[in-house]
Amino acid sequence: MTRILVTPTALRNAPGPYRDALTRAGLEVVDATVDETKMTESALIAQLDGIDGVLAGMDPFTPAVLGASKLRAIARMGVGYDAIDVPAATRLKIPVTITPGTNEHSVAEQTMALILGAFRGVASRDREVRGGIWKRKPLKRLAGRTLGLVGLGRIGKAVVPRALGMGLKVIAYDPLPDRSFTDKHGVALCSLDELLAAADIVSLHLPCTKETTDVINAATLAKMKSGSVLINASRGGLIDEAALADALRSGHLFAAGLDVFKVEPLPPDSPLLSFDNVVVAPHMGGLDEESSEAMATLAAECLANLFRGKWPEGCVVNDELRPGWKW
């Protein structure tokens, strides 16, 4: 029987539509047994013994892992796929799928939560009151500020109406912008340098690629307005964290809101945790109850469709495998 490994910890041994979709297709569901949110290469290789497909979380599908497996397909629960070496998967004729259209509202809500948390000092004020400190220092008003979205895909677009509703002006940088959307919502398009210079809040909504890794670095941070705020609910690899810590330490940035990091879980000795004006979360942007079920179900349906010989339209990252591909 064709076996599918389920690695996300929230899905293991749990009933749900995703599991029904796999079993209806005649696939055997195998739950990962390693008690880790993100497995090591060696642990993942061991789990893949006798496995034909994976419903995957953040696990590292490196060339070594892929080469040691007999995988026919990988379905990623989410829209990011930087943990998967797609060129290596393509060479081995392994389709990699993602779940577009399932979590943009959750990420947009987390983005707004981080913005509000940073501007209103939510976390630091909570800690103060709990510690017996009653300090009523006024902070900056959010309404009337300029939000710069670096990336205007599904998630960036979902942020726009929420930001407008909070009284923010929205500008955006995107290499291939949807001009009908920007015209409809009054979003001004600009270059990245123009955005960094004009925005009171810079919010990242890019995939992490070779081109975008450390797009926020000492040079780009210096181009941001003094007293501005950096938000990242996208990928940790987009930010040079040492440079960010320097910008916070110097007072150049007013605050930061971070849902993602280069190393996850974030090490307890990270310099970023020493700043009261940094709001952090454990990579929860795309996860709410509704999005988790939708992502898991679509990932399972992608595997089921591939097994049945039906190509999952709009979900395959390495779509060039389509001609003549068979399970």
Domain residue spans in the chain?
3-101+288-321, 104-280
How many CB atoms are located within 10 Å of the residue 12 CB?
16
179 counts as catalytic: no
Q: What is the CATH number of domain 3-101+288-321?
A: 3.40.50.720
Instruction: Name every residue whose Cβ is closer than 8 Å to that of residue 323 and which is 6 or more positions away in sequence.
Output: none
Closest to 108 measured CA to CA, from 274, 244, 268, 286: 286
- Phi, psi values for residue 284, rounded to 5°: -105, 0
d(CA 223, CA 198): 9
The Cα 310–Cα 92 span in angstroms is: 19
Average pLDDT per consecutive 10 residues, the chain (327 residues; last block may be shorter): 95 94 98 84 96 95 97 95 96 98 97 97 95 94 97 97 98 97 98 98 95 97 98 97 98 98 95 97 94 97 98 97 96
Any idea what the Cα angle at residue 172 is, between residues 244 and 97, rounded to 5°? 85
Domain 104-280 architecture: 3-Layer(aba) Sandwich (3.40)
Helix ranges (H only) for the chain are 17-24, 41-47, 63-67, 86-91, 104-120, 122-130, 154-165, 179-185, 192-198, 218-223, 241-249, 289-308
| Dihedral angle computed from the Cα positions of residues 197, 198, 202 and 208, in that order, rounded to the nearest 10 degrees | -50
- Does 264 participate in catalysis according to the annotation? yes
Read off the DSSP letter of residue 79.
Answer: S
pTM of the predicted model as reported, rounded to 2 decimal places: 0.91
Q: What is the pLDDT of residue 226?
A: 98
Between CA 147 and CA 144 the distance in angstroms is 9
Q: What gap in Å lies between CA 298 and CA 182, rounded to an integer?
A: 29
Closest among 10, 19, 7, 6 to 286, alpha carbons compared: 10
Residue of 72, 76, 125, 283 marked catalytic: 283
Which one of 72, 105, 235, 241 is the catalytic residue? 235
Q: Nearest to residue 236, comparing CAs of 212, 255, 218, 219? A: 212
> Do the domains 3-101+288-321 and 104-280 sit in the same CATH topology, yes or no?
yes
* Res 219: pLDDT: 98
Question: Contact, 21 vs 70, CB < 8 A?
Answer: no
**Nearest to residue 126, comparing CAs of 274, 317, 276?**
276
- State the pLDDT at residue 38: 75
Q: Is 194 helix (H, G, I), strand (E, B) or coil?
A: helix
Catalytic residue among 28, 264, 290, 320: 264
Q: Would residue 76 show up in a list of annotated catalytic residues for this protein?
A: no
CB 271 within 8 A of CB 76: no
Which helix (H) or strand (E) is 55 found in, with range?
Answer: strand 53-56
